[in-house]
Structure 1
Amino acid sequence: MGSLSDEEIKHAVKQALAEDVGTGDVTTLSTVPETAKLKAVMKAREPLVVAGLAFAETAFRELSADVKLQTGSKDGKALKAGQDLLHIEGPARAVLTAERVALNFVQRLSGVATITARYVEAIKGTRARILDTRKTTPGWRRFEKYAVACGGGQNHRIGLYDMVLIKDNHLAALRDELPNAIEVAVKRAREKYPELKVEVEADTLEQVEQAASAGADFILLDNMNPDQLRAAIQLIKGRSQTEASGGVNLSTIRGIAESGVDFISVGALTHSARAVDIGLDFEE
């Protein structure tokens, strides 16, 4: 997917600040003098992998050009509890008002990076690679997929536009084409979008053979156990790359990876990642 642009980070931060601040941070404006200054440090309170620091920096700078920032880490780096992510110094009002928006971005995106790194570590030594899915927070897909990459995972298709993925529901719409629905679907996809890779979801070994024979670049092996995955790989004989999906968690992923699949897609990287514990500690 590549890195995020300054423009899209700034746009997202401005939207978040507008949502949070509204007509003004009434607590800070009414209690903190305009001339007050302070120092703070953003700190990891648990082991984590960093992602989203640029969002935090942008949030503070959006509220004051006088805020001074010094990074103590970088995206993709693994931290222990107690290690620093970012040092902040400047106008107290700006820092206090931006605090929650800055933390929300970094906690959420670091959570995605952290759980991704755990899955990557769980299959270390196998040929398999971890993929994300489209099960993302609406409006945050690029950010969450960026965080997956920070954690060592690999991005699957970004949306419906950059790869053909023929799933069971597409095949269900081709009932009149049975028993050659997969062959027909792959042929039509090649003709319409010759520049794109084509993947076919297969629930059975019969569908696996049909997809491989049709020339699919990838075959998504859906909800298959390790024995079924091995049988599918033997049947494909290198004609297509393989992706395992369904029933994947930290307890099952090692066995799935050892079957010999090329990729394992994990929806939990984005739809179930929790925000990690990161705090902003103010110095005396």
Structure 2
Amino acid sequence: MSEQNMLDGKVVVVTGAGRGIGRAIAIMAASRGARVVVNDLGGTEQGDGADQIPALEVVKAITDAGGEAIANFGNVANADDAGQMIEDARSNFGRIDCVVNNAGILRDVIFHKMTEEQFDSVISVHLKGSFNVSRAAAPYFREQSSGSMVHMTSTSGLIGNFGQANYAAAKLGIAGLSRSIALDMSRFGVRSNCISPFAWSRLIGTIPQSTDAERERVKKIQQMTPEKIAPLAVYLLSDQASDITGQIFVVRNNEICLMSQPRPIRNLQTSEGWTPETVSARVGPAIQSSLVPLERSGDVFNWDPV
């Protein structure tokens, strides 16, 4: 199979595809033979407003290059809208093969000042939105015994970051959602994987830049374009990745990292059972060298990307 038809015959829904990473994935998927539903509500980074122009511009870019695409302007946080995205794929292209859950918003604020609305809105778009679209596609994937889902997670959730409790909770939740989908649907030939992207986008553009270190970090991220994320996403959607599911990848510029997932790292047991006092005396000292440091994403990914 040549690279130019890796997704030949596949129908792909990409959410949040009007700009940034979603746009890059939609265009590259189309260039590899996919027929694409370009979903984008067209809101701001905070999720306000609606604008059809970004999605329509991506559709035009695809069709001008000889590909096939249609626009959808639904809100992933609404289950009915998510269902319509899948139905648009089926009614226009006859089937649905792949879902890319990319839509997202940010409402960054330090935790003790975060409101319920700021928490709920981010969870609704990222986590609930990923559930809504995946769930709408799942019955068709099961029926045809095939399907691939790619979800966008973040090192803000996998590792940590300041001022992003809502975003981190949603993104770590997406990793758990993806793993569960992979487990539940593997018997139907359905795959589910996560990508944690480092790429300059409108969302990343809201990162605070109050210190020299933060400004330098943002400067480096600006060099990582959304087009760097698309190749891995297209590969994971394709049949060439048929043996890859339940995994988490990080993409930084030209680097692709396969991430570890939680496993036991230290074990203590006693035949007498534990009391608070024996936990204090034995467990506390024994685990000290194995405790995970309180680090941020930038502390762990502290080398310059290639």
Do they superpose with TM above 0.5? no
* Greater relative contact order structure (CA < 8 Å, 6+ sep): 1
More strand by share: 1
- TM-score for the superposition, normalised by structure 2: 0.29
